[in-house]
C-alpha cells in the first residue's frame, strides 16, 4: 500500500488477515483527507438519484458496528443521531420523503421523527430552526479508525515503510525517503461543470460542490495556481508552528511476494537518481492514493481524472460542557456541526476546488465560523482549539473508483466527502478484488474507464 489513509489501512487489514504479505508505504504528508475528516456517518440523506453512490455509502455505514467489534478498541464510533435542520419547514419535506422511501432497505437509519425543540438535543443551536431526527446516524474519529486498522494489520504481519512511492510503466513500485518536494501535488485545472457535484439530478441534503463567491466578499484563490509550500497547514493547533510540510500520496498498497529490493536498475529506467530509490517486489499493487491517484497511475499510461477538493474545518471546545452525545447537525446548506467527547465541537467544512493547496485560509475560516454561528449562535463563546484541512479525492466522471487499471495494479479512490463512511468497506472491496474473492456488491459501476 502506498500510503496509509483509511482505504489503504482497511485494505492492508483485510489482506494481512488472509495471510498475505503486505507492505504499507506511508508518505506522511499533510492534506490527507483521512486526517481531517469530521466523521459523519449518515448516508441515507444523500445521493437521491445515484444508486451506485448510495449503495457504497449505505453498505459502508451498515458495517461499522461489526468493524468496531472486530477491532476491539475505541474508534470514536457512536450512534448519536443526526438533526436535519432548516429555517423553512417545507425544505425538510423532500428529505423526509427520501428517507421514507429508503427505510425498507435501510431500517438501521431508525424511525425518523420531527423535533420541536432541537436545542434540547444540541443546546447551542438557533431556536427558530425546524428539524428532523435520524436516530441511526453516527459519528466516528477518522484518525482513530485509520490507526486501529493499521495497527491491526501490523499485528497480523503487515510491514510499514515511510517514504515516497512511484510506479514504473510496467507496474513496479519504487520507494525513496520522503522529501518536501515530493509532497507538492500537480496543479490541476478545476473539473468541468458537469463533474463538480457528487450526484446528478435532485441535490443531496449536504452540499456537494463549491458555491460561487458572494458579491460582498472576494472569491477564493484560483484553482490550479497554488501548490503546497512552507506556509501551508494541514492540521495545526492554534499558536503552534507547524513547520515546512506539503501534501502527498494519501493511500496505496503493495501486496508483496518479496519485500525490499535492489532498487538501482529500475531507477535508471524512469530517470531518477539510482542511489535514492529502492524496489519493492510485489505480485500486486493497490493504489488508493486519494486525490493523488491520477498522478501515481500516470506512468502506467492510464488517465484517471481524480482531483482534490479542499475542506477546512474548525474544532472548538465548550469548557465544562458534556458534548459527547450531542447529535450531528446537518443544515440543507452551510456547515455541519457535531460533538465529540472532551467538550469538543467540530464545525465545517468549506468545499473548494483550488488544486493541491492544503492550507487553512482566513477566508475559509471566516466562511466556516460565520455560517456555523448562524446555525448555532450558542457557540459564540467557544474556544477555537484547532483547525484542519484535507484534500478530498473526487473522481470527475461520477461514483468512486474501485477496480483494476492493469493486470497488476488496482485502484480505490474518489470517495469525496464520504471517505470515513465508505472507506473501510472500499478498502476491503479492493483487497478482495486482488485476492479473487466474490465481492459482496457489484463492482461494475465503480470500474476504471476502458
| pLDDT tens digits, one per residue of 202-212 | 667 765 667 65
Strand partners, 309: 392
Q: Greatest CA separation found in the chain?
A: 69
Statement: residue 387 has pLDDT above 70: yes
Where is pLDDT greater, at 294 or 145? 145
Model pLDDT for residues 22-58, shown as the tens digit of each residue: 999 987 767 888 888 889 999 999 999 999 999 999 9
Residue 397 pLDDT: 87
Give the mean model confidence (pLDDT) for residues 91-116. 97
CA–CA distance, 26 with 430 (Å, rounded to integer): 18
At 201, the pLDDT band (50, 70, 90 cuts) reads low
Which pLDDT band holds residue 412 (cuts at 50, 70, 90)? Answer: very high
Q: What is the pLDDT of the chain when averaged over all its residues?
A: 83
Task: Please state the rounded mean pLDDT for residues 371-392.
Answer: 96
For the ranges 167-181, 187-201, 252-266, the lowest mean pLDDT is seen at 252-266
3-state secondary structure of 294: helix
What confidence tens digit (pLDDT) does each residue in 215-241 have?
444 554 544 433 333 333 343 333 333
Q: What CA dihedral angle connects 432, 436, 437 and 439, to 10 degrees?
A: 70
CA distance 286 to 171: 10
User: Which residues lie below 8 Å from residue 144, measured CB to CB, with a gap of 6+?
Assistant: 74, 75, 76
pLDDT at 31: 87
C-alpha cell at 30: 499533510
Write the CB contacts of 74 (distance below 8 Å, at least 6 apart in sequence).
144
Q: Is the pLDDT of residue 109 over 50?
A: yes
pTM of the model: 0.85
The residue with greater pLDDT, 359 or 191, is 359
- Domain 6-446 fold is FAD/NAD(P)-binding domain (3.50.50)
The predicted pLDDT at position 179 comes to 60
How many helices (H) and strands (E) are present in the chain, helices listed first? 10, 19
Exposed, middle or buried, 181 (CB in 10 Å: 0-12/13-18/19+)? exposed
- Radius of gyration of the chain from Cα atoms? 21
Sign (positive or negative) of CA dihedral 175, 176, 177, 182: negative
Q: Do the Cβ atoms of 200 and 211 come closer than 8 Å? A: no
Q: What pLDDT does residue 90 have? A: 95
Residue 195 pLDDT exceeds 70? no
Transcribe 169-206 into DSSP letters: TTS-EEEE---GGGG----PPPPPGGGSSSSSSSPPSS
| Domain boundaries along the sequence of the chain | 6-446
The answer to whether the CB of 114 falls within 8 A of the CB of 131 is yes
Q: Report pLDDT digits (tens) over 140-161.
A: 999 999 999 999 999 999 999 9
Match 498498497 to its residue by C-alpha cell: 253
Amino acid at each position: 500500500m502506498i500510503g496509509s489513509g483509511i482505504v489503504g489501512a482497511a485494505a492492508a487489514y483485510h489482506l494481512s488477515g488472509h495471510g498475505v504479505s503486505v507492505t504499507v508505504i506511508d508518505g506522511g504528508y499533510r492534506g490527507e483527507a483521512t486526517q481531517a475528516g469530521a466523521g459523519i456517518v449518515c448516508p441515507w440523506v444523500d445521493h437521491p438519484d445515484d444508486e451506485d453512490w448510495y449503495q457504497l455509502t449505505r453498505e459502508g455505514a451498515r458495517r461499522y458496528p461489526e468493524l468496531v467489534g472486530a477491532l476491539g478498541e475505541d474508534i470514536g464510533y457512536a450512534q448519536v443521531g443526526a438533526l436535519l435542520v432548516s429555517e423553512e419547514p417545507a425544505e425538510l419535506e423532500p428529505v423526509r420523503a427520501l428517507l421514507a422511501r429508503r427505510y425498507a432497505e435501510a431500517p438501521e437509519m431508525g424511525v425518523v421523527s420531527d423535533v420541536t425543540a432541537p436545542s434540547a438535543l444540541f443546546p447551542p443551536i438557533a431556536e427558530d430552526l425546524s428539524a428532523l431526527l435520524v436516530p441511526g446516524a453516527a459519528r466516528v474519529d477518522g484518525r482513530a479508525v485509520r490507526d486501529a486498522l493499521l495497527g491491526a494489520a501490523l499485528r497480523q504481519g503487515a510491514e510499514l515503510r515511510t517514504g515516497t512511492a512511484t510506479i514504473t510503466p510496467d507496474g513496479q513500485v519504487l520507494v525513496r525517503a520522503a522529501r518536501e518536494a515530493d509532497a507538492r501535488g500537480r496543479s490541476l485545472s478545476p473539473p468541468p461543470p458537469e463533474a463538480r457535484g457528487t450526484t446528478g439530478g435532485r441535490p443531496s441534503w449536504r452540499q456537494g460542490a463549491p458555491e460561487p463567491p458572494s458579491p460582498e466578499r472576494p472569491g477564493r484563490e484560483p484553482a490550479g495556481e497554488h501548490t503546497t509550500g512552507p506556509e501551508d497547514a494541514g492540521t495545526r493547533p492554534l499558536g503552534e508552528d507547524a513547520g515546512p510540510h506539503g501534501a502527498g500520496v494519501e493511500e496505496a498498497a503493495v501486496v508483496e511476494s518479496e519485500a525490499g529490493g535492489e532498487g538501482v536498475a529500475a531507477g535508471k529506467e524512469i530517470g531518477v537518481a539510482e542511489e535514492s530509490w529502492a524496489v519493492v517486489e510485489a505480485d500486486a499493487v493497490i493504489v488508493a492514493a486519494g486525490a493523488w491517484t491520477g498522478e501515481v497511475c500516470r506512468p502506467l499510461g492510464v488517465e484517471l481524472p481524480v482531483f482534490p477538493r479542499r475542506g477546512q474545518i474548525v474544532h472548538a471546545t465548550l469548557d465544562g460542557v458534556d458534548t459527547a452525545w450531542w447529535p450531528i447537525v446537518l443544515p440543507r446548506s452551510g456547515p455541519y456541526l457535531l460533538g465529540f467527547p472532551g467538550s469538543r465541537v467540530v464545525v465545517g467544512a468549506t468545499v473548494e476546488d483550488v488544486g493541491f493547496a492544503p492550507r487553512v485560509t482566513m477566508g475559509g475560516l471566516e466562511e466556516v465560523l460565520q455560517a456555523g454561528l448562524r446555525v448555532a449562535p450558542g457557540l459564540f463563546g467557544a474556544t477555537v482549539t484547532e483547525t484542519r484541512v484535507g484534500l478530498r479525492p473526487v473522481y470527475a466522471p461520477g461514483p468512486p473508483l474501485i477496480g483494476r487499471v492493469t493486470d497488476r495494479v488496482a485502484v480505490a479512490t474518489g470517495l469525496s466527502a464520504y471517505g470515513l463512511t465508505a472507506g473501510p468497506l472500499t478498502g476491503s472491496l479492493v483487497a478482495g478484488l486482488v485476492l479473487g474473492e466474490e465481492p459482496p456488491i457489484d463492482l461494475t459501476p465503480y470500474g476504471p474507464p476502458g
